[in-house]
């Protein structure tokens, strides 16, 4: 049943599926101030989200009122390109199981997380929500994108057929605490933080940047993202997805220079053109979310500085 707005989380049992991930963990921090009755989480040992019967049984037993679907197999450009079967299959299974089980368990409201890569590679910029399914996808991540599009459609289909209050949000490239720093599977921002830190430690005078440095990316701190997701859960109920971004983008060269300067490095950037650039630009329009009344609070430079300092602290204590 579609819930009246605002949908308060106070006194509710809220399931954060994927609470060990960067977004899920940020949601747990953000939900502390919502006076929920209980925040439900399940570790992978307790519940494998790829197993339909287990997810159905767990969800019926726990009876969540609201669900955030933050569980997903995620990774940077190379991981997406190298493991298309895993990115397509795992994400289809996870979202299908969690969304359907939530419906069967009578969940009042569900928010599904997509990604900005669902939009066509050459979508007009800034990309509005209406661009969905208007053109071909970026080949390096079309597998992940197809799975995420299926998740959006599954929410829309449950709204249409059953009147379920299932919505979806499309976050841009995120960064923040709890990120993946593995150089083969990470996104660009954590990769560059690690590379800059290690270059400084070894006294090297250059760092390697994949591709040409020309692609543009929009970055949002994960705490801003979690705040926007809670906002949407409370104040949004409709068929169409909502973009969650900062509204501004930078080139990969610019973000690399910012990180090198945070590390105090006056070093050369070596562009490795054998690695893919991916989408040339994916700046999402922030208009819809702004019109609803939400805006980000964490400035890119300050956010990256804080994450860089945390990384250095953690790396030095190892």
Q: Which stretch binds ligand GFB (CB under 6 A): 16-24, 76-84, 228-236, 294-302?
A: 76-84
Contact string (CB under 6 A) for ligand GFB, positions 27-66, x = contact: ----------------------------------------
Q: List binders of ligand GFB among 98-127 (CB under 6 A).
A: 115, 117
CB of 116 to ligand GFB, least distance (A): 6
Q: How many residues bind ligand GFB (CB under 6 A)?
A: 24
Q: List binders of ligand GFB among 248-267 (CB under 6 A).
A: 252
Determine the Cα–Cα distance for residues 121 and 278; give it in Å rounded to an integer: 9
Q: Which of 16, 149, 199, 209 binds ligand GFB (CB under 6 A)?
A: 209
Query: Applying CB under 6 A, does 80 fall inside the site for ligand GFB?
Result: yes
Residues known to be catalytic: 144
Query: Applying CB under 6 A, does 77 fall inside the site for ligand GFB?
Result: yes
Determine the Cα–Cα distance for residues 248 and 76; give it in Å rounded to an integer: 20
Q: Which of 91, 97, 156, 173 binds ligand GFB (CB under 6 A)?
A: 173
| Residue whose structure tokens are 């956010």 | 303
Determine the Cα–Cα distance for residues 53 and 259; give it in Å rounded to an integer: 45
- Two tokens at 204? 């090297």
Q: Which stretch binds ligand GFB (CB under 6 A): 14-22, 32-40, 75-83, 239-247?
A: 75-83
Burial 207-239 (b: 16+ CB within 10 A, else e): bebbbbbebbbbbbbbbbbbbbbbbbbbebbee
Burial 57-89 (b: 16+ CB within 10 A, else e): ebbeeeebbbbbbbbbbbbbbbbbbebbeebbe
Q: Which of 16, 49, 169, 188 binds ligand GFB (CB under 6 A)?
A: 188
- Two tokens at 46? 């307790």
Q: How far is CA 73 from the centre of its chain?
A: 10
Q: By CB under 6 A, name the binding residues for ligand GFB.
A: 76-77, 80, 115, 117, 140-141, 144, 173, 186-188, 191, 209-211, 215, 217, 252, 275-279
């Amino acid at each position: 049943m579609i819930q009246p707005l605002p949908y308060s989380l106070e006194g509710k049992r809220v399931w954060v599926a994927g609470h060990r991930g960067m977004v899920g963990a940020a949601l747990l921090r953000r939900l502390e101030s919502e006076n929920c009755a209980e925040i439900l989480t399940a570790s992978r040992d307790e519940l494998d989200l790829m197993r339909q019967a287990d997810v159905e049984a767990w969800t019926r037993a726990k009876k969540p009122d609201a669900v955030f679907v933050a569980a997903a197999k995620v990774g940077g450009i190379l991981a997406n390109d190298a493991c298309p079967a895993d990115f397509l299959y795992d994400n289809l299974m996870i979202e299908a199981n969690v969304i359907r089980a939530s419906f069967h368990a009578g969940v009042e409201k569900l928010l599904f997380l997509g990604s900005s890569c669902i939009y066509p590679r050459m979508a007009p910029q800034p990309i509005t929500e209406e661009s969905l399914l208007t053109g071909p996808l970026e080949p390096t991540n079309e597998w992940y994108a197809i799975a995420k599009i299926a998740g959006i459609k599954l929410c829309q289909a449950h709204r249409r057929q059953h009147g379920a209050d299932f919505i979806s949000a499309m976050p841009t490239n995120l960064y923040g605490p709890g990120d993946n720093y593995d150089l083969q599977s990470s996104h660009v921002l954590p990769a560059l933080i690690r590379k800059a830190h290690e270059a400084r430690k070894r006294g090297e005078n250059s760092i390697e940047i994949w591709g040409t440095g020309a692609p543009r990316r929009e970055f949002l701190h994960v705490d801003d993202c979690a705040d926007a997701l809670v906002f949407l859960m409370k104040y949004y109920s409709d068929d169409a997805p909502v973009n969650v971004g900062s509204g501004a983008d930078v080139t990969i060269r610019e973000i690399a220079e910012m990180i090198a300067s945070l590390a105090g490095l006056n070093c050369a950037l070596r562009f490795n053109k054998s690695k893919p650039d991916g989408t040339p630009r994916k700046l999402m329009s922030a208009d819809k979310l702004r019109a609803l009344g939400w805006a980000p609070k964490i400035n890119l430079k300050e956010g990256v500085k804080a994450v860089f300092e945390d990384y250095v602290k953690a790396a030095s204590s190892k």
